[in-house]
Amino acid sequence: MKKRLVVLFSVLVIASMALSACGPGASKAPEACTEDPLGCAVIEKGQTIKIGMGAPMTGEYAAFGIDISQGASLAVKDAGQFEGFSFELVSEDDGGSPEGGASVANKLVSDPSVVAIAGHIFSGATLAAIPIYEKAGLPMLSPSATNPDLTAQGSKVFNRVVFTDATQGKFAASYLVDTLGISKLAVMHDGQAYGQGLAEVVRDEFGVLGGEVVAFEAITPGESDYSAALADIAAQGPEAIYYGGYAADAVVIVNQMSQADLGDVLFFGCDGTFGEDFVERTGDNGEGAYGTSLIPPASDAKTTFDAAYLETYGEEAGKLSPYTWSAYDSAAALIVAIESVAIVGKDGNLYVPRTAAVEAVRGIDGYVGLTGNVTCDAIGECASSGPTFYIVEGGDWVEAK
Amino acid sequence: MGIHNAVKNIKSISAYQVIQFVIGALFIGYILWRLNEILRVNPIYGPDTWMRFAIAGLILGSVYALIAIGYTLVYGILFMINFAHGEIMMIGAFGGYFVFEALNAIPTPTAADPELTFLSAQPVISVLLAFIVGMSVSALSGYFLEKIAYRPLRSAPRLVPLISAIGASIFLQNAGQLLFGAQRRDYLNPEVLTRGNGWEFPVGEGTVILPYTGALTFVLSFLILIGLFTLVQRTRLGRAMRAVAENKPVAALMGVDVDGVISRTFIISGAMAGAAGVMWGIHLGLVYYFVGFIPGIKAFTAAVLGGIGNIPGAMLGGFFLGIVEAIGPPILGLSFQLKDVIAFGILVLVLIFRPTGIMGEVLTEEKV
C-alpha cells in the first residue's frame, strides 16, 4: 500500500512537472483523480481492466450464474483492447443469496482494478450488495435483477438492462384478463425476493382489473414434490395458475399439475421460468403453457452472438438461462461507459475516476445492444422495451398473439 | 435423607408432568378445533382433495422410510449420524437414470412402432435393471464411504466422525456436480410409467389419480422394508448386526467379525438409499447433484421421530412425516411453504413427550 502511495505521489510530481512544462492539456489523469471525491480505479501497466460479477456459480441455481458469466465473457472478449489494456470478467460465486452478495461485494471493492459490476444476478444478492458498491463508487449494470424495489432506493450506482418485475407483472395481469379472458386466478411463488415480488404485483393488478385471485400460495423452492400444495390449489377451482419463480421449480409444478386434477388449467410463467429447459423438461405437460421473455428478436448481432456462444461453450445460447443476451449487453455497455471516462496517465497506468464512471453508466444513452436500445433513465432503468409473451406449441416457444 | 430425596423427585416430576400435560392438552385441543373447523364448519376441501393429500403423503413417506432406515441402521451400530446418506441416495438416483438413458438408446423397432426402444418395449426388465444398478452403485459408495471417511476415525471422539460425515456429504455433492453437471435432469421413464398416468377413480365430486409410479414406489418400498426386517431378525448376518449394536467388544470375543458387519451394514443401508433414489427419480422425475440433500434431512428427522436406532420406528417415522407434510398445512390452515415448520414442530412435541422418539428404546449409559 505504501509503495503504491509512493508511486502515486511520484506520478503526481512528474505530472505536475509535465503540466508546467508543456502547458495545459498534456495529462489530466492525476487531476481528475484528485478532483474525484472517490478517487480512481488504478490499472497498472500489464494488468487487466476488471469487470466484476456476483453470480450463483455453484448450488441449485448455478446454471444461471454460469450462463450469465459466459454471456458477459463474450462481451469482454469482443471489446478487445483499450489503449493497450485488455478487459477481464471476474465472476465471484455469491450463491444467489444476500449473505453471498454482500461478501462478494466486499471482496470486489477491495480490488482497485475492478472498475464496474455486471450484476448481481439474483435480486436478493443485489439488494445486499448495492450499499457496498455505493460507498466504493462502483457502477452496477445488472442483466437479471428485476425486483422493483432495487431502483426505488435512490441508489446512484445501481442500473439494470432488464425490465422490472413491476412492469412485467402489470403486463402479465392485463394479458391474463384482456387477452386470455381469465377471471379466476391462483398465484404461486417461491417466497424469494424475485418470485414473491412479481407474484404480489400480479395479484394486486389482477384484482384491480376485475379478476378474482382464488389462492395465493408460496412453495419452498428446490423440492421435488409439490403435489400436496397443488391439490390444495385445485380445491379452489382456478382457471389459470400464475407462477413467480424459476424454471427449476416451475417444471416440477407443471409436471405434477395433472396428478392434482389441474391438467386443464393454464400455466402462466414469468421470465424466470422461460427457457429451453422448461420446454424440454415438461414435454407434453408443458404444451400450452405461457411464459414471458427477454429474448431479443432475431437480428444480425444476435446471430453472430449465438454462433460465438455455441462455438465457445459447445452449447446453444439460451439453453441454460434466458439472460445470456442481457448479460452480453450489460458487460458491453459497461465497457463502453468505462472507456469514455478512462484516462491513461503519464506513467502508463490507466485511471478510471470513480464518480465519473458511475455518472457515465447512469448516462448510457442510445447504446444498441442485442436486447435492443439501452438508455438509462434517472433512477437506472435502462431497458426501453417491455416483455414479450410466449406460448409452448409443438415443443417450442412461439410468440403468443 | 432417602425419603427427602424421593419427595423432591416426586415434586419435580409432577411439575414437569403438569407442563407436559398443558402443552399436550393445548395441542390436541387446537387440532380438534381445526378439524371441526375444516371438516364441518367450513369444508373447503372435498373428499377427493383429502384423498390426493393422503396419496401424496403416503408415497413420499414410503421413500422417507426407506432412507430413514439407513440412518437408523448406522446409528444403531456406530452411534453416529451418517450425514452423507442423502448423497448416497443421489448416487443411486443417477445410477438408475443412466440405465434408463442407455436402454433408451437401444432400438427395438416393431412394425407398429418403428421408434420403439428397449426401455419402453421391456419396461419390467428396464425398471429391474435400474433398481439393480442404482442399488449396487449406492451400496458400493456406502462401502467405500465407511472405509475412507469413518473407519479411520472409529476410535476417535464421537464428534469427529460426525464432522467427517458432513465433509463427506459436501464432497459427494460437489463431486456429483463435477461429474454430472449442475443442470437438473429428467428421468426418462418407460412409456407405461409416464408420470401422471395412473388409475383414475371417482371420489366425491372429482377424480383422483393414483399414479403408477407412486404405486410402484409404495409397494416396492414396502416389500424392501419387510425384506430388511426379516434380514435383521431372522438371518445370521442380522443376528451379528444386532450383536455388534449391543456390544462390540463382546461380539468380537464371540467370534463376530465386527469390521465386516459394519461394512455390510453400510452396504445394506446404501442399497436401500439407492432404491429410494431410483424411486425418487421414477416418481418425481428429477435428478441432480443436490437431489439427496432435502430427502436426507427429512429422513433423518423421520428416524429421530421414530426413535433413532429402531428399525420399525424409522419406518413409522417416515410414513408419519410424509403424511404430516401433506395434510398438516390444510388441517392447520397454513401455507404449504410452512410444511417443514409443522413437521419440525411435531418433532419437538414428540420429543417433549418421548425424548427417545415414538418407538425409541431407552438409551443406556453405555450406548450414550
Would you state the pLDDT for residue A22? 44
Here the CATH number for the domain that contains residue A146 is 3.40.50.2300
Whether the predicted pLDDT of B250 surpasses 50 = yes
Enumerate domains of chain B plus CATH numbers: 45-353 (1.10.3470)
Pick from B44, B327, B335: CB nearest A217: B335
Whether the bond between A120 and the residue before it is cis, its omega within 30 degrees of 0, is yes
Same-domain pairing of A138 and A179: no
Number of domains in chain A: 2
Among A262, A293, A324, where does a domain finish?
A: A293
A15 inside domain = no
| Cβ within 8 Å, pair A223-B174 | no
Is the same domain home to A32 and A134? yes
| Record: contact B284-A252, CB cut-off 8 A | yes
Beta strands in chain B (DSSP E): 185-186, 198-203, 206-211, 286-287
Q: Which pLDDT does position B330 carry in this prediction?
A: 86
Q: State how far the Cα of A105 lies from the Cα of A92, in Å rounded to an integer.
A: 9
Residue A122 lies in a domain: yes
pLDDT band at B77, cuts 50/70/90?
confident
Residue A401 lies in a domain: no
Residue A4: inside a domain: no
Q: Is A246 among the domain residues?
A: yes
Look at residues A244, A276, A293 and tell me which one is the last residue of a structural domain. Answer: A293
**A229 to chain B: closest CA residue:** B336
Same domain, A39 and A145: yes
**Domain span at A58:** 28-163+301-374
CA separation for the pair B127, B137 (Å, rounded): 15
The pLDDT > 90 percentage for chain A reads 45
Query: What pLDDT was estimated at residue B240?
Result: 92
Mean pLDDT of A182-197: 90
Q: Residues of B near A (CB-CB distance < 8 A)?
A: 44-46, 48-49, 52-53, 55-57, 60, 174, 177, 182-184, 186, 195-196, 198, 206-209, 211, 280, 284-286, 290-291, 294, 325-327, 329-330, 335-337, 339-340
User: Do A174 and A278 share a domain, yes or no?
Assistant: yes
The verdict on residue A177 lying in a domain is yes
Residue in B49, B284, B286 closest to A234 by CB:
B49
Cα–Cα distance, A48 to A46 (Å, whole number): 7
Q: What is the ipTM, given to two decimal places? A: 0.74
Among B52, B182, B291, the residue with its CB nearest the CB of A66 is B182
Q: What is the pLDDT of residues B103-123, one digit of tens each?
A: 988 888 888 888 888 888 888
pLDDT above 80: residue B34: yes
pTM of the model: 0.72
Domain C-terminal end among A252, A274, A293: A293
Kindly state whether residues A178 and A98 are assigned to the same domain. no
H/E segment holding residue A211? none
Chain B residue closest to A66 (CA)?
B182
Residues A265 and A202 in one domain: yes
Is B184 in contact with A227 (Cβ distance < 8 A)?
no
Q: How many whole angstroms separate alpha carbon A359 and alpha carbon A157?
A: 8
Is A16 inside any structural domain? no
Residues A143 and A225 in one domain: no
Distance from CA of A397 to the nearest CA of B (A): 19
Q: Give the three-class secondary structure for B179.
A: helix
Chain centroid, CA B251 distance in Å: 29
Write down the pLDDT at residue A331: 95
- Per-residue pLDDT tens digits for A191-215: 888 889 899 999 999 999 999 999 9
CB contact under 8 A, A228 and B326: yes
Residues A240 and A154 grouped into a single domain: no
Q: Which residue has the higher pLDDT, B249 or B17?
A: B249
Q: Please give, rounded to a whole number of angstroms, the shortest distance from the CA of A377 to a CA of chain B.
A: 36
Q: What is the spatial distance between Cα A40 and Cα B34, in angstroms, rounded to a whole number?
A: 64
A282 and A328 housed in the same domain: no
Neighbours of A68 (CB within 10 A): 31
Residue A386: which pLDDT band, with cuts at 50, 70 and 90?
A: low
Inside any domain, residue A12: no
Q: Are residues A259 and A240 in the same domain?
A: yes
Inter-residue contact B111 to B165 (CB < 8 Å): no
The reply to whether A185 and A284 lie within a common domain is yes
Across residues B337-366, what is the average pLDDT? Answer: 77
Distance in Å, alpha carbon of A173 to nearest chain B alpha carbon: 23
Q: Is A7 exposed, middle or buried (0-12, 13-18, 19+ CB in 10 A)?
A: middle
Q: Is there a contact between B44 and A220 if contact means CB atoms under 8 Å apart?
A: no
- Please check whether residues A181 and A328 belong to one and the same domain: no
- Chain B positions touching A224 (Cβ under 8 A) are 280, 284-286, 291, 294
Q: How confident is the model at residue B37 (pLDDT cuts 50, 70, 90)?
A: confident
